[in-house]
Chain A
Amino acid sequence: MCLAVPMEIKSIKDNIAEVEVGGVRNQVRLDIIDEQPEVGDFVIVHAGFALRRLDREEGLETLKLFEESLNVELT
């Protein structure tokens, strides 16, 4: 039930953002997100609310740690 999906912010009006992923559009509320997102950001969406902005740098960093610890190259 704690399924949460990354979706891209297309527009923001007041406390509500228009989001999209894979052609599916939805509206999400921004009442509980801790850092105000911007258009183009990906947010994790759960039950109609954005929970957090996804951090691209941290994602890359995690992958880099894999590479280093396993000595493999990512393509």
Chain B
Amino acid sequence: MLNLLNKFKDPELCRNILRQIEAEVNGQFKFMEVCGTHTVAIFQSGLRSLLPENIIHLSGPGCPVCVTHESEVAAYLELAEKDVIITTFGDLMRVPGPDRKNLKNAQAEGARVKVVYSAFDALKVAMENPQDKVVFLGIGFETTAPTVAATLKIAKEQKINNFYVLSFHKLVPPALKVLLEDQDTEIDGFLLPGHVSTIIGLKPYLFLASEYQMPAVISGFEPLDILQAILLMIRQKNSGQPEVVNNYKRAVADNGNPRARQVMDEVFEITDASWRGIGTIPQSGLGLNEDYEQLDGFKALDITLRDVPPIPGCRCGDVLKGKIRPDECPLFKKACTPASPVGPCMVSTEGSCAAYFKYMV
């Protein structure tokens, strides 16, 4: 199997597809990926420098840390000051909130914050500390949400009553729709996120082609996967027959993963959600449903999202929509660097600004 996976990095085959892309592209072709792992893969593999100049890569709202809204960051930072143990994926530790304070600063000031690798590890923290309230910060798209849902199910079954989740989970397809409704956004095709698709399958994306005539290809993360997806999108555009294609069949069934979706349905309900830089998108988030009220951090710990001002000068929102490149933000590489980030797109290693900083200088 590992030999097979290595073939998807084969330089000779990559060169062949690149030549094919060069031969078939007509004029400019702008594609957007909506997955932080694609962002990193495209930069790290050097594909950006290999692609012809008229193929333009835009990085969309595919980094969960980056799209976590200012009000959500403020809410968990406030919670950190209370008598709880916060458990979180490491990605959130350095995201600046109001006054540029982050979880790491809060930790230095005495807040109890533990970085975990999985939601289930957060539940273990709760079991080991029965006298404390343990809150897990649920961020991530459809890939991550079922792992959190499964953990909540276990917590309920085992009657663990000191574990809570603050669910900031977001859904990818509604955000794609918002991007396409925005008149200013110019996109010729979507490189669809591989592992989100492992869960949701093809169906939630079909509107891209049927309603918006948008080429769209579900892709894996090896150079060959990405190059072939680009070639398929270009062919769809050239033929005037856009469709949604699953080109990552080794990891994505057309029907996705129905069992994971069922676990999500048992625990979550679809809610409106706020996205950084985009605003509120109807039916684009996941909250705990009434069966899981007692484990819902918002309800059990009485947390509300309040309006907070956006970070002055930060253009993260426009970067996430593909309206500007990171280096067009006035703060880029000046006030805002990975060592001292102003906005979340510079914090996360998957953020476009961090990728530009690391690979374009």
Inter-chain CA distance A10–B4, complex, in Å, is 19
Residue interface mask A48-75, B partner, CB < 8 A = 1: 1101101110111111001000101010
State whether A1 touches B350 (Cβ < 8 A). yes
A51-B7 in contact given A2-B36, A32-B150 (Cβ < 8 Å): no
Contacts of B117 in A (CB 8 A): 47-48
Residue interface mask A20-39, B partner, CB < 8 A = 1: 01000000010111100000
Interface size of B in residues (CB-CB distance below 8 Å): 57
State whether A66 touches B13 (Cβ < 8 A). yes
Where chain A touches its partner, the secondary structure class is: mixed
Smallest CB separation, B117 vs chain A (Å): 6
A47-B144 in contact given A3-B37, A62-B247, A66-B228 (Cβ < 8 Å): yes
Contacts of A62 in B (CB 8 A): 247, 249-250
Query: What residue of chain A has the Cβ atom nearest to residue B221's Cβ?
Result: A3
Contacts of B13 in A (CB 8 A): 66, 70, 72, 74
Residue interface mask B175-202, A partner, CB < 8 A = 1: 0000000000000000001111011000
Contacts of B146 in A (CB 8 A): 32, 49, 51
State whether B118 touches A47 (Cβ < 8 A). yes
State whether A56 touches B195 (Cβ < 8 A). no
A49-B249 in contact given A2-B193, A4-B195 (Cβ < 8 Å): no
A42-B1 in contact given A51-B199, A52-B253 (Cβ < 8 Å): yes
State whether B16 touches A70 (Cβ < 8 A). yes
Interface size of A in residues (CB-CB distance below 8 Å): 33
Most A C-beta atoms less than 10 A away, residue of B8, B146, B224, B250: B250
Cβ of A12 < 8 Å from any Cβ of B?
no
Smallest CB separation, A45 vs chain B (Å): 10
Query: What residue of chain A has the Cβ atom nearest to residue B259's Cβ?
Result: A34
Contacts of B121 in A (CB 8 A): 48
Cβ of B287 < 8 Å from any Cβ of A?
no
Contacts of B118 in A (CB 8 A): 47-49
Query: What residue of chain B has the Cβ atom nearest to residue A60's Cβ?
Result: B4
Smallest CB separation, A69 vs chain B (Å): 8
Residue interface mask B245-266, A partner, CB < 8 A = 1: 0010111110001111001000
A55-B140 in contact given A2-B196, A32-B146, A49-B118 (Cβ < 8 Å): no
Residue interface mask B76-111, A partner, CB < 8 A = 1: 000000000000010100000000000000000000
Inter-chain CA distance A52–B251, complex, in Å, is 7
A63-B7 in contact given A8-B1, A46-B144, A48-B119 (Cβ < 8 Å): yes
A selection of 14 A-B contacts at a CB cut-off of 8 Å is A31-B154, A32-B150, A33-B259, A44-B198, A51-B195, A51-B198, A54-B251, A55-B251, A59-B1, A59-B5, A62-B249, A63-B7, A70-B20, A74-B13
The 5 nearest A-B residue pairs measured at CB: A48-B118, A59-B250, A58-B249, A31-B150, A2-B143
